[in-house]
Amino acid sequence: MSVGTVAVVGSVNQDLHLRLDALPLPGETVLARRLARGPGGKGANQAVAVARHGGASQLIGAVGRDFTGDSLLRLLKDAGVGVQHVRAVPGTQTGTAVVMVDDHGENAIVVASEANMALDPEHVRLSLQSIGDIAVVLTQAEVSMECIAAAAEFAAATQARFILNLAPYTAISTELLRSCDPLIVNEIEAAALSEALGIPHPAGGDADPVLATELAKHCLSVIVTLGAHGAFYSDGNHSGHVPAPKVKVVDTTGAGDAFVGAVAAHLADHHDLVASCSAGIEAGAYAVQHEGAQP
């Protein structure tokens, strides 16, 4: 079987990267040791991760008609991502994320969506129709829910696999949830979604595997990422845990996106959920050892 394309419907941002001794508390002013600019956005990050795992990666998104947008598209092309379906939208700016990273590699991120929210579902539909040979449609919650729904509808109509990384967490319909294969969420997003679905949240160390199993009842499959503790997966019939290797953490920014992109690339290459989840763990562990989202 041939390897199909991974079509990524998602955001493109410039990251403003601040290195700090410690993340600021509410009302606190702190001094950054360093400011750096780099490429980011969950859609762009995941599209790059797909390409770096040998997948045919096509990004559908939007930037502003500005120097930042042009620069980010050049970097994406250099990384092997197809960008002909990324719109340059007049009258808006390219999205920007302020990423604060402390000495332990932990981060806090604020995103100004700008052009990402100018992406419209009709452009998503037309772009997906024109790409061809799509095995996986991958999206995240940094674009509008209408665009996410358009991506899911296309996947259902063409029997492509639909992956939703529900990050940042946002309310989602049960109908859309049922099409996710897999739904990928971290512990915080899993807890928020389980509360919205009325799933009891168990106490103690058994919470994560129980949540993964319960969430899998509402979608085709699910992966709950646990950072340094790996990930749980479930497809309703089989559930399990993939541990993460111990590594020196430099910066956790983009680690989740590296995980998701690796999972998508391996699923498009006909690997099963367990093998794809393992590839995602390896990618995330590698990513945390480097600064920035895409490098």
Distance CA 285, CA 141 (A): 23
As given in the structure block, the two tokens for residue 80 are: 């092997």
120 belongs to the catalytic site: no
Q: Are 140 and 42 in contact (CB under 8 A)?
A: yes
Residue closest to 109 by CA, chosen among 235, 256, 213, 228: 256
- Report the sign of the C-alpha dihedral through residues 69, 45, 54, 148, in that order: negative
As given in the structure block, the two tokens for residue 89 are: 């939208």
Q: Which amino acid is at 132?
A: G
- Report the sign of the C-alpha dihedral through residues 31, 33, 35, 38, in that order: negative
Which residue in this structure is represented by tokens 């250099």?
Answer: 78
Q: Are 89 and 112 in contact (CB under 8 A)?
A: no
Q: Are 183 and 166 in contact (CB under 8 A)?
A: yes
Distance CA 54, CA 151 (A): 22
Which residue in this structure is represented by tokens 């503790």?
Answer: 229
Residue 163 DSSP symbol: E
Residue closest to 277 by CA, chosen among 264, 263, 265, 287: 263
Q: Which of 15, 208, 251, 257 is catalytic?
A: 257
Q: Are 222 and 212 in contact (CB under 8 A)?
A: yes
Which residue in this structure is represented by tokens 């991506």?
Answer: 151
C-beta atoms surrounding 197 within 10 Å: 14
Residues annotated catalytic, as ranges: 257
